[in-house]
Amino acid sequence: HAKNKGKNAYEVFHEEMAHKASKRLALEANLRKALQNNELSLHYQPQIDVRTGRMRGMEVLIRWNCEALGGAVSPVEFIPVAEESGVIVPLGRWVLQTAVRQAAAWRKAGLMEDIDHMAVNVSACQTKDTQLMYEVQALLMETGLPPRLLELEITEGVLMENVNANIALLHKIQAAGIHLSIDDFGTGYSSMAYLKRFPIDQLKIDRSFVNDVPGDGAAIAKAIIAMAHSLNLSVVAEGVETEEQVAFLADAGCDVMQGFYFARPMPAEELEVLLRERRLWAAA
């Protein structure tokens, strides 16, 4: 960079570090106000049943439009900050509340009949929060949403951080009738032995492997599908963008697909239109 002219490598490095730190602080300060300022919203991305082409579910994805920072901030950027700063606790509670209430409203309108689950992402801090299960169950009681309609997504990395505690938590979730899905599967280090111990319903093949189809990702995706099916788990491929990936995954026996090829994450009003239309995608 021209602006770095005349500075030595250390000075440049130091400035970049300071810049990163102040950016993170700004992010954290604004994030703390995001809830009160009504700057958070939820988007919903359809998940398509490979065999029938129907929408079998949707994943809830948080969006933050921060006025002070001049617009949308990606969850890839702010979720880690929310986790480190503890803001994830009220934020995660808001996500669950908003999503479960939306699902209950759609169900009352008769729009959830074809839908198996609404999937909500749960972060590391939330799994350590002993209140989580009480809150979720209170929410299900309050809204009347059948637990089977709710699916929690926990990343493989989070699950493997504290295996024994997580196995206990997953058993509670399962006993409550809530579905469980392992997110970003293949990026962590779970062995088949661990997978057998986790009471889970589904694996989500990480986007990085789906992106790499055709390529090395293909062999990995096939291996994950075979392993999942041998453990009686269903498989979702995330980040599906091309017709070639759809054809490959369908042929490999993948159960569910999610990605820009089918639909982007969208606001509730737009997803509701697809539900009303009982929109079908061409079965792959």
Measured from the CB atom, is 120 or 252 closer to ligand C2E?
120
Q: Do residues 227 and 238 lie in contact, with contact meaning Cβ atoms separated by under 8 Å?
A: no
Cα(112)–Cα(105) distance, integer angstroms: 9
- Binding to ligand C2E by residue 57, rule CB under 6 A? no
Please count the other Cβ atoms lying within 10 Å of the Cβ belonging to residue 38.
Answer: 8
Is 63 exposed, middle or buried, given 0-12, 13-18 or 19+ CB atoms closer than 10 A? middle
Contact 94, 258 (CB under 8 A): no
Binding residue for ligand C2E, selected from 184, 195, 255, 275, defined by CB under 6 A: 184
Q: Which of 8, 36, 38, 74 binds ligand C2E (CB under 6 A)?
A: 74
Beta carbon of residue 59, minimum distance to Mg ion (angstroms, whole number): 6
Structure tokens at 144: 């009347």
The reply on whether position 121 binds Mg ion by CB under 5 A is yes
**Binding partner of residue 95 among Mg ion, ligand C2E, none, CB cut-off 5 to 8 Å per kind:** ligand C2E
Eight-class DSSP state of 147:
G
Q: Does 184 bind Mg ion (CB under 5 A)?
A: yes
Near Mg ion by CB under 5 A, which window of 11-19, 160-168, 182-190, 259-267? 182-190
CB of 95 to Mg ion, least distance (A): 12
User: CB neighbours of 177 closer than 8 A, spacing ≥ 6?
Assistant: 146, 147, 148
List Cα–Cα distances, 15 to 4, 10, 182, 268, in angstroms. 10, 9, 39, 42
Residue 156 as a binder of Mg ion (CB under 5 A): the answer is no
Q: Is 89 in the site for ligand C2E (CB under 6 A)?
A: no
Under DSSP, the state recorded for 67 is T
CA distance 148 to 175: 11
List the interface residues with ligand C2E, window 150-179 (CB under 6 A): 153
Rule CB under 6 A: choose which of 135, 201, 212, 241 binds ligand C2E: 241
Query: Which of ligand C2E, Mg ion, none sits in contact with 123, Cβ below 5 to 8 A by type?
Result: ligand C2E
The yes or no reply on residue 181 touching Mg ion (CB under 5 A) is: no
Minimum distance between the CB of residue 204 and Mg ion, rounded to whole angstroms?
Answer: 5
- The stretch near ligand C2E (CB under 6 A) out of 47-55, 127-135, 172-180, 258-266 is 258-266
Give the three-class secondary structure for 152.
Answer: strand
**153 is a contact residue toward Mg ion (CB under 5 A):** yes
Q: What whole-number distance in Å separates Cα of residue 181 and Cα of residue 155?
A: 8
* Residue list 209-238, contact with Mg ion (CB under 5 A): 238
Report in angstroms how near the CB of residue 169 gets to ligand C2E at its nearest: 15
Among 115, 183, 209, 221, indicate the residue that binds Mg ion (CB under 5 A): 183
Q: What is the CA radius of gyration of the chain?
A: 20
Residue of 219, 234, 227 whose CA lies nearest to 194: 227
* d(C-alpha 206, C-alpha 186), whole Å: 6
Q: Cα separation of 248 and 271, whole Å?
A: 27
Nearest distance in Å: CB 234, ligand C2E: 17
Q: Which residues bind Mg ion (CB under 5 A)?
A: 121, 153, 183-184, 238
Q: Which residues bind ligand C2E (CB under 6 A)?
A: 45, 61-62, 74-76, 79, 92, 95, 121, 123, 153, 183-184, 207, 238-241, 258-260, 265
